[in-house]
Structure 1
Amino acid sequence: MRSEPLLAIEPPAPVRNIGELYSIALTLTERAAQRYGKLAAASDEAFAPVRRVFEALSQREEERAEAIEKACIAAIGRAPAQADLRWMPMELVLAEELSDIENSLLSAAYGAWALAVRHRERAFIFWTYIAARADIGIVRTAAESMAREALRDGNLLRRERRLAWRAERRDALAGDAPGATELSSAALLESLLLKDIFRWSQDAPAPQRRHLLSLIGDGSQMSEANDALPRAEAFDEIKRRALRRAEQLSSIYLDEADKAVDPSRLELAQQLAAHSIARLADLRTIASTPE
Structure 2
Amino acid sequence: MPQKRTEPWVMASMTELLSFARAMEQEAVDGYVALAARMRAEGRPDLAAVFERLIAEEEGHLGKVDQWLGERAPQPVSLLEPFFDDEGAGVVAPELLTSYRAFSMAVRNEERAFVFWTYAAAHAPSEEIRQAAERLAREELGHVATLRRERRRAFHEMRHAESGSIRDDLPTLEGRLAELLIRTPAAPLGETAERLRGLANEAQERATALTATPPGETPLLQHVPGNVTGRLVPLCEFLLDCYLDLAEHESTESARARVQTFASDIIRCLYAVREL
Q: Under a length normalisation based on structure 1, what TM-score does the superposition of the two structures give? A: 0.50
Q: Decide which structure has the larger Cα Rg and report it.
A: 1
In 2, distance between residues paired with 1:148 and 1:93? 19
- 1:92 equivalent in alignment to 2:52: no
- 1:21 equivalent in alignment to 2:17: yes
Contact 1:116 1:157 in 2 (8 A): yes
Partner of 1:246: none
Q: Could you list the runs of 5+ residues in structure 2 that have no partner in the other structure? A: 1-5, 164-226, 232-276
Query: SS at the partner of 1:97?
Result: coil
In 1, distance between residues paired with 2:82 and 2:7? 11
Is the alpha carbon distance of 1:30 and 1:148 closer, same or farther for their aligned partners in structure 2, counting shifts above 3 Å? same
**Among 144, 153, 161, the residue aligned to 1:154:** 144
Is the alpha carbon distance of 1:56 and 1:92 closer, same or farther for their aligned partners in structure 2, counting shifts above 3 Å? same
Cα shift at 1:122: 0.6
**Among 45, 48, 55, the residue aligned to 1:48:** 45
Is the alpha carbon distance of 1:63 and 1:41 closer, same or farther for their aligned partners in structure 2, counting shifts above 3 Å? same
**Among 36, 52, 56, the residue aligned to 2:32:** 36
Contact 1:130 1:143 in 2 (8 A): yes
In 1, distance between residues paired with 2:155 and 2:86? 24
In 2, distance between residues paired with 1:59 and 1:170? 27
Is the alpha carbon distance of 1:95 and 1:106 closer, same or farther for their aligned partners in structure 2, counting shifts above 3 Å? closer
Partner of 2:64: 67
Deviations 1:84-138 (A, max 9, x none): x4x53742321443325x5342211111011100110111001101110001111
**Among 111, 117, 120, the residue aligned to 2:110:** 120
Query: SS at the partner of 1:157?
Result: helix
In 2, distance between residues paired with 1:167 and 1:71? 38
In 1, distance between residues paired with 2:93 and 2:7? 31
In 2, distance between residues paired with 1:130 and 1:103? 37
Q: Could you list the runs of 5+ residues in structure 1 that have no partner in the other structure? A: 1-9, 174-254, 260-291
In 1, distance between residues paired with 2:42 and 2:135? 39
In 2, distance between residues paired with 1:41 and 1:125? 29
Deviations 1:21-46 (A, max 9, x none): 01111111111100101111232464
Equivalent residues in 2 for 1:227-238, closer than 5 Å: none
Question: Which structure has more helix as a fraction of its residues?
Answer: 1
In 2, distance between residues paired with 1:65 and 1:47? 27
Contact 1:14 1:134 in 2 (8 A): yes
Is the alpha carbon distance of 1:41 and 1:128 closer, same or farther for their aligned partners in structure 2, counting shifts above 3 Å? same
Partner of 1:228: none
Cα shift at 1:70: 1.2
Partner of 2:55: 58
**AA aligned opposite 1:37:** V
Cα shift at 1:66: 1.8
Equivalent residues in 2 for 1:176-255, closer than 5 Å: none
Contact 2:86 2:105 in 1 (8 A): no
Cα shift at 1:13: 5.8
Query: SS at the partner of 1:80?
Result: coil
How many matched pairs? 160
Partner of 1:145: 135
In 1, distance between residues paired with 2:86 and 2:128? 32
Contact 1:29 1:61 in 2 (8 A): yes
